[in-house]
A and B are shown apart, each in its own frame.
Chain A
Amino acid sequence: MTVTHSSAGSVRGRPRGTSRQSRAGVAFVAGYVLLLIAFGVLPTCYAIYFAFTNAGGAFTGISNFVTTAQDFRFVDSLGHVALYLVFWLLSLVVFVVVLALLLHRLSSGPVSQALRFLYYIPGALAGAASVLVWLFMLDPTVSPVSSLLETLGFHTFGEVIAPGNLALLFTIIAFWTGAGGWIVVMYGALNNIPRDVMEAARIDGANGWQTAWRVQIPMLRKWIVYMVILAFAGGAQLFVEPQLLSLASTGVAGRDYSLNQLTYDFAFQMNNINGAAAVSVELLVVSVSVAGVFVARSGFFDAD
């Protein structure tokens, strides 16, 4: 009885505090949820509606998906994006983790602070602006590293942006723009590894490499998965880099290099909004599926 009573009392007592807290919680997230619905969920529903209808609004089944997949540019764009994703994700996982570990080993001296600042700076440039910076970097005529480009055998902008180089170039641009922020995030995650664990590793005689490989990297796993999920979704939507490079090279880089550019072409060049929506929905499904696989296999939401 006593137990039941006290538990009943605690049940009675808890809702008041919980409801006050939950009201505050709701107030905090309400703005975000509203914006998410207005600019995330509703447009997504709208795109799905478009993907399965024609210009007149009639249901067309999967015909938009079939039409766009049969477009002569679709497979090429898919291949370009896939290649870019391989380069981009590999470089991100390898270099970000390695740089974060090195940064962490430097402890918290002024060098570490300066490096963290330096890593973060490129992320402060908006996407389009950072691509414009690279347009100058890649043109041997005006580039501050023109001698390096010349050494590599590039004498003109046209040679640098040859179709075979594009996936690598976009990876370099994206890495320079986005990796710094992730290095800082990983650095924060490394700082969160309990000191006892690190000490235990040291006492057990683990050297720097063993500590990194057997202790730090496994404990960073969830952060790495988080980074890969977001980088995959972002990378699959590759658009700004090829679009600006295409404009700067007056078309040499191709206006339909990536799937998102193809979507843009469907919508605004060929007046096929429904086809564009179909490709967008495909991108959404792929990104969500990949995220699902990563989350499920990594135990991302498991409590420690």
Chain B
Amino acid sequence: MSVYKPSVRQETGTSRRRAALLAGCAATVLLTVTACGGGGGTSGTTKDGFAQAAQNDGALTVWVDATRMDAAKQYQASHPDVKMNIVSYDGDANGSNYLQTKVQLFNRTGKGWPDVVFSSQNNEASWAVDAGFAAPLNKGLIPAATLSGFAKGSNDVCTVDGTLYCLRNDLSQAVLWYNAPLLKKFGYTVPTTWEEYQALGEKVAKEHPGYLVGDAGDTFTPEIYLWASKCGANHITGPKAVSVNTTSEACTKMATLLDVLIKNRSMSISGVFSTDFAKNEADKVLLMPGPAWYGGAVFKDGLKTPAKQIAVAPIPQWQGDTSPSTGNVGGGTWLLSKHSSHLKAATDFLKWVTTDNAYQGEKAPGFPAYAPAAENWLKAQAASGYYASDLTALKDASSQVWSDWGSGQFSQEAIWAATVKPGITQGKTIESLLPAWQDSIVKYAQADGYKVSK
């Protein structure tokens, strides 16, 4: 008896455990089914080139980075009747993938997508289309007349298979920034070719050691220098195809130039946003190739360079070239969600924020991609009295961006940062690191499903 009873208890225990196991498995299956079923939640009419969600008059959710917060607030102030939910998030570049992460999660839960979102990365469309997040904009949402006002080629990064999936906020064409009074004091002239630029760097190293003709320490260094040299490291040839060749002469001659100037210390390897650059080199900048936004973000706000010192010249060109070709460092994009249930309000906000003079023409910190606003922006910058020259070079450069460098799904900044930058810090030459850079780009591109050619 006493032996039998426990066995009953044991059996009960076993059956309880079985029941618990079954319940656990059932809950797992239920969770799985719920999660899997949550993804494709949109239903409604097909219009403007995509299946639209049922519309309602709830609050318009806009995600912006800290810099674009002013734009959203300004829209809210001038449109008090629009219910808005403005969310500040890390829209930062340098390979941050916060938006992508969140969209993947929202796709699983079937809700939560922002209606309109700003990103400072140019390659958002490359994944946002695959993820079913970005709405097509040139199929009825944004009028063709508005789209034709954007600078030529500015929305290329937003175009996938001929369809436009985002609008460019600003252009980031690179130019040659320089300190006009300092250059005059030293008796130098602004170089117009890369050969002159290198010669000036060698002269500065000898005559004024400590002063700088540029910086090669940032993750976007290849986009400033190697893109301008027409180095074919990142030629996106199709939606999932890329051609990578980092060892052509176009690449090696710029790498050699950088190596010479890094070695003689007329070029910094700190990075313009690093603490040591701000502390030790802020007042040593004689020349600095860099994008349009360097004027405000680096010189005025970051390095606190006083007014009437910083001037702009065209980026140098190689001897024998007919005109400069330049790179492009970022420039934000605005995306509109396919899942939005406030499409009218979202579209209106998107149009306003990218084209309206009230923001783009007067307040925007970067060179607007929308050409009419860019005209006003240049006038406003000139009137601000900060710059020591006119800003024509910026306008000219906007159409000189070399078009054979694309915005793929893999982050060129992250690859350069992990592959080349540690080598430069250790004293290796950029030229010697070009094959490793190529190898890394190829591997990352292939991991993201790109067909790679050389």
Residues on A facing B (Cβ under 8 Å): 8, 11, 37, 41-42, 45-46, 49, 57, 71-73, 139-142, 155-159, 162-163, 247, 249-255, 267-271, 273
Contacts and interface: CB of A to CB of B under 8 A. Distances in A.
Given A41-B24, A42-B31, A255-B418, A142 B217 contact: no
A251 B28 contact: no
Most buried by B among A72, A155, A162: A72
A141 B101 CA distance: 33
A81 B115 CA distance: 40
Nearest to B219: A250
A270 B127 CA distance: 9
Nearest to B29: A49
Nearest to A8: B2
Nearest to A251: B417
A162 B131 CA distance: 35
Contact of A251 (B100, B101, B276, B413): B413
Interface stretch (B91-99, B152-160, B360-368): B91-99
9 contacts: A49-B28, A57-B36, A141-B275, A156-B425, A159-B425, A250-B273, A251-B219, A268-B101, A270-B448
B425 A71 contact: no
B104 interface: yes
B418 A271 contact: no
Interface string B269-303: 11101111001100000000000000000000000
B19 interface: no
Given A156-B270, A251-B417, A49 B32 contact: yes
Contacts of A247: 94, 96
A268 B97 contact: yes
Closest 9 CB pairs of A and B: A251-B417, A268-B101, A141-B275, A158-B425, A141-B276, A251-B414, A254-B418, A72-B443, A45-B28
B97 A269 contact: yes
A155 B425 CA distance: 11
A268 B104 contact: yes
A158 B27 contact: no
Contacts of A46: 28, 31-32
Contacts of A159: 425
Given A157-B274, A252-B417, A268-B100, 13 more contacts: A8-B2, A41-B24, A42-B31, A57-B36, A72-B447, A162-B422, A250-B218, A251-B416, A251-B418, A253-B418, A255-B414, A271-B130, A273-B104
Contacts of B271: 158, 250
B425 A162 contact: yes
A220 to B, nearest CB: 36
Contact of B24 (A37, A156, A252, A271): A37
Most buried by B among A142, A252, A253: A252
Nearest to B101: A268
B425 A249 contact: no
Most buried by A among B2, B100, B127, B447: B447
Most buried by A among B280, B417, B421, B448: B417
Interface in B418-454: 418, 421-422, 425-426, 443, 446-449
A156 B131 contact: no
A163 B425 CA distance: 11
A71 B279 CA distance: 41
A166 B222 CA distance: 25
Contacts of B31: 42, 46
Nearest to A57: B36
Contacts of A253: 418
Contacts of A49: 28, 32
A98 to B, nearest CB: 34
B327 to A, nearest CB: 18
Contact of A141 (B279, B417, B446): B279
A156 B276 CA distance: 7
Contacts of B274: 141, 156-158
B25 interface: yes
A124 B26 CA distance: 39
A261 to B, nearest CB: 12
Contacts of B95: 250-251, 255
